[in-house]
Amino acid sequence: MTTAPSDAAAATAGEPARFPLVLGLDTFGDVTHDSGDRPLSHAQTIRNVVEQGVLADQVGADFFGIGEHHTDDFPMPAADVVLGAIAARTTRIRVGSAVTVLSSDDPVRVFQRYSTLNAISGGRAEVILGRGSSIDSFPLFGYDLADYEDLFEEKTNLFAELLKGGPVTWQGKTRASLHDQDVVPHTESGPFPAWIGVGGSPQSVIRAAHYGFSLMLAIIGGSPARFAPFSQLFQQALERFGRAPLPVGVHSPGHVAVTDERARDEFWPRYLEVIRAVSKTRGFAIPTKESFLREVGPHGALYVGSPETVAQKIAANLTVLGANRFDLKYGMGGLAHHALMTNIELYGTQVIPRVRELLA
């Protein structure tokens, strides 16, 4: 049987990156455990995330992102506050959401919060808009998941208007209209970078291109090469909308330790536990050691291993996907804070230089 479509896409998606290489880190504020394997408090988890962000800056990561979540095991509903704390203690690293669940938020507030973060950080703020894989914000804020697409479409439209700066006039169904409204704080030097996180919906790719937002591919299972056609679709859609090419990024989970074996041994039991819980609510099969090793291997979505293993995999997939940015979603519920700090340190001091070398 033929696999022509993906082959053709891979061939053209593999052009040399037109944008600077960006290598970042993402967290969902996964609750970490102490040395006795007891969960730390939400408060301590949040303070640890601040320390992780500061370390990410020190070891040379380009970006630190926090994904909005609203659950007991991911107590991270106010990512922008945590990013503000990190911004105040760093000077170099870019800080942003990964993702902001725009559909259940108010675009005006999102703009205000990230524009404030942009002020605090001296222009280092970014925002990635999307749904994420959690749905908890919808009932929490009184939204119906069935309205997801309409909410996202309309709110993305308003957010794009707000980003342009200057007074906004806007009318829609999901919030009060705005008439020549000045929304503060103003940005110092034009719009901060905005991305749309996409998990597999072609319409979301088209939407990102339509608004001129960059594309962040969330690849959390299966072969990353499957997403190459999305990268191609994005660039072609930009062209059709008369826009210049824009960056494409990849967000994937992983764990870096000194050796492959150590990384797998630390990550696997935590991964199993977390995915087992997700499987239960979603009716999926529970992962097996075999399926885990497939995901860790060259054709899977997990970046678990030594710095060399992870760097090779990042470099290979950025090339296949025609992407210039990779954000490693580090951490997994139950891992210890010190294991995450080691992960961040190895990522910054070894993985990043090695990926740069491989792609030079």
Partner 1 sequence: MTAAAPSSARLPRIAVLGVGHSGPVIARVAMAAGYPVSIAASGDPENIELIAQVLAPGAEPRWAADAAREAGIVVLAIPLHKFATLDPALVAGKLVVDAMNYWPAVDGVQELFEDRRRGSSEIVQRRLARSTIVKTLNQIGYHDLEDERRPAGSPDRRALGVASDDPGAADVVAELIDRIGYDAVRLDSLSAGRLLEPGGPVFGVALRRAEFELAVRAEAA
Min separation Cβ 133 and partner 1, Å = 8
Q: How far apart are CA 25 and CA 35, in angstroms?
A: 24
Q: Which is nearer to partner 1, 241 or 356 (CB)?
A: 241
Min separation Cβ 130 and partner 1, Å = 14
Looking at this protein, which amino acid is placed at residue 340? L
Q: Which is nearer to partner 1, 279 or 349 (CB)?
A: 279
Beta carbons of 34 and 21 less than 8 angstroms apart: no
List interacting residues with partner 1 (CB under 8 A): 1-6, 8-9, 135, 138, 144-146, 148, 199-203, 206, 221-223, 226, 229, 232-233, 236-237, 240, 281-285
Site of tokens 């479409």: 153
Min separation Cβ 148 and partner 1, Å = 8
Q: Which is nearer to partner 1, 206 or 344 (CB)?
A: 206
Q: Which is nearer to partner 1, 83 or 225 (CB)?
A: 225
Min separation Cβ 90 and partner 1, Å = 36
The full DSSP string for 143-185 is --GGGHHHHHHHHHHHHHHHHT-S-EEE--SSS--EEEE--SS
Calculate the dihedral angle through the C-alpha atoms of 170, 176, 180, 185, rounding to the nearest 10 degrees. Answer: -100
Q: Which is nearer to partner 1, 5 or 190 (CB)?
A: 5
Min separation Cβ 170 and partner 1, Å = 23
CA distances (Å), origin 164, targets 154, 188, 335? 16, 12, 41
Secondary structure of residue 109 in the 3-state scheme:
helix
